[in-house]
Chain A
């Protein structure tokens, strides 16, 4: 990963850099040198100005020189090791988890007997493995971490193909019912349009069914994007409404009494052949009250899939 680009400097404007290893190394060295000179110059002048207030200018110069050198050296080191720092940052959660695991294990094994170690470990591993809810949540979280790395792989591929550009900042990720949602802040070299054209590649790299990208905020910052990685289908699930949960039917003094005017002629033979004329006349004279039943001799005819036009 370190061969991709120079990262974002501390307060320095990032430039675009071609992404070929040799060149990157060379440009990294050059950048570090530039950073050293600029920092040393600025810090030196500042130190000189402040110090010459208090002492003789020559003494101040002698004092400012080492200060400038140290500051420059600090920035130079930072720029040189930046790829390593960036990689450490990318892998912080994983490194942290691995360390915790190893140290936890060692500490536990040292502090207690084997039996107790197992007594602690079995539920720790067993409960998430057995309880589906916890297991799914753990797996979903793990996928979030994986996806951030996979996306980065995608981005570096894209900018290598483009021959220039900077790696986007992959902000955070969270599980969704279908997969993961990742927020990304683009940097020069990529755009929403470019990414939308290559969603299939992103889906492949992320081991997903499909991927979708759109602007993360409605206000429309072009660089702030949201990726949806899709691994499962939710549209086939049954969605329930929250409405039944807010009602409390137990406390309700309500009993249903069926109306008495339900029509009895529910089958074709029950409705005599001459009846339609009579009922038509009846419905013409009836008022518009809530008594449909009388006017409709055969409700059986329009129970399901009532398509008079088909």
Chain B
């Protein structure tokens, strides 16, 4: 379980305990007071947006790294750029580069799983999955959402992709299948409000206009002073996070270097080696206990 050891003057330690689970809050960075920002991604989904170079892929990689190391978690990665999430290609159950056909078929499969899970949850006489159900968490991560909805494939395929994604985002929340999506372009044709509002957590890195900031954070937020176009563009990783009931607040995302990302990915691949599902070997567990 998670405990936060607060060090008044450092960033201190964050909970990464043995048997990290996606049901534990995920560490994404610090807020403007240096406090840890922890997101409960499984039940909320996460939408990330901002102009190129803002640090979206950094945050996406953090989520991918956490999911890769988490127990009983499957990864489905969409990355039209190949390099952003490519490190996790051996860890992921599905990795979709720039093939829209495959993207659509994988989304269909995910939706079927989601439907089946709800039928199963119904049979358990409940309304959402819990950690104790021991169902795997299937984390879907999409870097550059706009590539799939506006660039790759035919307009019909793009439309179908969008529809399926909307289905997954709205269904996945309560059955342990969260979606984390990032997009450069923040406009209504990429992220219509109906899709945006399905994401419980929204994170806006530097945007070019206050209009595009509103597209992510919600209408009228720029007028209320929550304007991602005012974020310092020379400080990548700074973002406005809208999470829960609290008003959007500034955070600085944690950052993994390329070397760290590949180390994590290699380690996760090795740890998951037998079946593609995480069963940490005994010596690793002790190493984790020491580290934690």
Chain A residues engaging chain B, CB cutoff 8 angstroms: 133, 136-137, 140, 174-179, 181, 212, 228, 230, 234-249, 251-254, 256, 288, 290, 292, 302-303, 305-309
The reply to whether B252 and A234 form a contact with Cβ atoms under 8 Å apart is: yes
For A243, the chain B residues whose CB sits under 8 A away are: 16, 62, 65-66, 69, 256, 260, 264
29 contacts between A and B (CB under 8 A): A137-B8, A176-B34, A177-B11, A178-B34, A230-B33, A234-B30, A236-B252, A237-B252, A239-B252, A239-B254, A241-B27, A241-B62, A241-B65, A241-B254, A242-B14, A242-B27, A244-B260, A245-B291, A246-B69, A247-B264, A248-B287, A249-B266, A251-B284, A251-B287, A252-B266, A254-B270, A288-B99, A288-B102, A307-B184
Output the least CB separation between B151 and chain A (Å).
5
For A251, the chain B residues whose CB sits under 8 A away are: 283-284, 287
Q: Which of B241-273 contact A (CB under 8 A)?
A: 250-256, 260, 263-264, 266-267, 269-270
For A212, the chain B residues whose CB sits under 8 A away are: 33
Q: A249-B263, A254-B270 are in contact. Are A177 and B291 (CB under 8 A)?
A: no
CB contact between B9 and one of A177, A246, A256, A309 (< 8 Å): that residue: A177
CB contact between A181 and one of B13, B33, B232 (< 8 Å): that residue: B33
For B27, the chain A residues whose CB sits under 8 A away are: 241-242
The reply to whether B9 and A136 form a contact with Cβ atoms under 8 Å apart is: yes
The reply to whether B266 and A254 form a contact with Cβ atoms under 8 Å apart is: yes
CB contact between B8 and one of A140, A248, A290, A309 (< 8 Å): that residue: A140
A-B pairs with the 8 shortest C-beta distances? A177-B34, A247-B267, A175-B8, A241-B254, A288-B102, A239-B254, A248-B287, A242-B16
Q: Is B32 an interface residue (CB 8 A)?
A: yes
For B30, the chain A residues whose CB sits under 8 A away are: 177, 234-235, 239
Chain B residues engaging chain A, CB cutoff 8 angstroms: 8-11, 13-16, 20, 27, 29-30, 32-35, 52-53, 62, 65-66, 69, 81-83, 89, 95, 97-99, 101-102, 146-147, 150-151, 184-185, 232, 235, 237-238, 250-256, 260, 263-264, 266-267, 269-270, 283-284, 287-288, 291-292
For A288, the chain B residues whose CB sits under 8 A away are: 99, 101-102
The reply to whether B13 and A241 form a contact with Cβ atoms under 8 Å apart is: no
Could you tell me the distance between the alpha carbons of A174 and B6 in the complex, rounded to whole angstroms?
11
Output the least CB separation between A108 and chain B (Å).
30
| Chain A, interface SS category | loop
The reply to whether A178 and B8 form a contact with Cβ atoms under 8 Å apart is: no
For B263, the chain A residues whose CB sits under 8 A away are: 244, 247, 249
Could you tell me the distance between the alpha carbons of A268 and B8 in the complex, rounded to whole angstroms?
54
The reply to whether B260 and A307 form a contact with Cβ atoms under 8 Å apart is: no
Could you tell me the distance between the alpha carbons of A217 and B95 in the complex, rounded to whole angstroms?
43
Could you tell me the distance between the alpha carbons of A252 and B9 in the complex, rounded to whole angstroms?
34
The reply to whether B33 and A178 form a contact with Cβ atoms under 8 Å apart is: yes
The reply to whether B291 and A235 form a contact with Cβ atoms under 8 Å apart is: no
The reply to whether A246 and B10 form a contact with Cβ atoms under 8 Å apart is: no
The reply to whether A248 and B284 form a contact with Cβ atoms under 8 Å apart is: yes
The reply to whether A235 and B32 form a contact with Cβ atoms under 8 Å apart is: yes
Could you tell me the distance between the alpha carbons of A140 and B6 in the complex, rounded to whole angstroms?
15
For B13, the chain A residues whose CB sits under 8 A away are: 242
Q: Which residue of B lies closest to A212 (CB)?
A: B33
For A178, the chain B residues whose CB sits under 8 A away are: 32-34
For B292, the chain A residues whose CB sits under 8 A away are: 246
For A308, the chain B residues whose CB sits under 8 A away are: 147, 151
The reply to whether A292 and B69 form a contact with Cβ atoms under 8 Å apart is: no
For A241, the chain B residues whose CB sits under 8 A away are: 27, 62, 65, 254-256, 260
Q: A137-B8, A243-B256, A246-B69 are in contact. Are A234 and B34 (CB under 8 A)?
A: yes
For B102, the chain A residues whose CB sits under 8 A away are: 288
For B235, the chain A residues whose CB sits under 8 A away are: 235-236
Q: A176-B35, A234-B252 are in contact. Are A309 and B185 (CB under 8 A)?
A: yes
The reply to whether B32 and A230 form a contact with Cβ atoms under 8 Å apart is: yes
For A305, the chain B residues whose CB sits under 8 A away are: 52-53
Q: Which residue of B lies closest to A256 (CB)?
A: B266
Could you tell me the distance between the alpha carbons of A137 and B69 in the complex, rounded to whole angstroms?
34
Could you tell me the distance between the alpha carbons of A52 and B287 in the complex, rounded to whole angstroms?
75
